[in-house]
């Protein structure tokens, strides 16, 4: 049975000012837009693993084509998102490569991902406040 995050579009802003809009299309897919921060204007989708770990608290994780690993906890009770991401060095040093639609840049992103460097990774561990929750799809 799908969990209660499915079909929701959530807008949130991390303490560092980075803003994201995420649509949890299914238990296996997230579609998101990075609104601000070094990756601002990135629009992408990812295959996810997700589960409800407590009432209205969800853990979602994915591996991006860039090599970035992301795990987030979405807490609808406290309206917070806490995320961990490990960005490969080449991504963090060249964020503009990820700007725009994922599919328009996919070949270049895969080429750069294979070339690296991967390490040292830039670790992102932040909490953000959810400022909008909208049911836009079927739960």
Residue 123, H or E segment: strand 122-135
- Higher pLDDT among residues 112 and 78, named by residue: 78
pLDDT for residue 1 is more than 60: no
8-state DSSP, 98: G
Please give, one letter per residue, the 3-state secondary structure of 29-45. Answer: EEEEEECCCCCCCEEEE
pLDDT in tens, 79-93: 999 999 999 999 988
pLDDT for residue 2 is more than 80: no
Q: In this predicted structure, which of 19-23, 60-64, 115-119 has the lowest mean pLDDT?
A: 115-119
pLDDT for residue 117 is more than 90: no
* Bond preceding residue 11 cis, omega within 30 of 0: no
pLDDT in tens, 40-80: 999 999 999 999 999 999 999 999 999 999 999 999 999 99
* Bond preceding residue 103 cis, omega within 30 of 0: no
- Band of residue 116 on the pLDDT scale cut at 50, 70, 90: confident
Compute CA distances 9 → 21, 72, 122, 130, whole Å: 7, 15, 27, 11
First to last CA, the chain: 10
Q: Is 57 helix (H, G, I), strand (E, B) or coil?
A: strand
Cβ contact 100:42 at 8 Å = yes
């Amino acid at each position: 049975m799908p969990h209660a995050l499915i079909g929701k579009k959530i807008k949130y802003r991390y303490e560092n000012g980075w803003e994201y809009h995420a649509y949890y299309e299914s238990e296996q897919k997230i579609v998101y837009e990075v609104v601000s921060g070094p990756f601002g204007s990135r629009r992408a989708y990812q295959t996810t693993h997700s589960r409800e770990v407590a009432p209205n608290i969800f853990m979602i994780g994915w591996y991006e084509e860039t090599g970035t690993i992301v795990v987030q906890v979405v807490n609808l009770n406290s309206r917070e998102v806490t995320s961990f991401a490990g960005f490969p060095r080449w991504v963090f040093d060249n964020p503009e490569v990820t700007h725009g639609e994922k599919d328009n840049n996919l070949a270049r992103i895969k080429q750069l991902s294979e070339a690296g460097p991967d390490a040292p990774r830039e670790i992102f561990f932040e909490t953000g406040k959810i400022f909008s929750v909208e049911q836009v799809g079927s739960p």
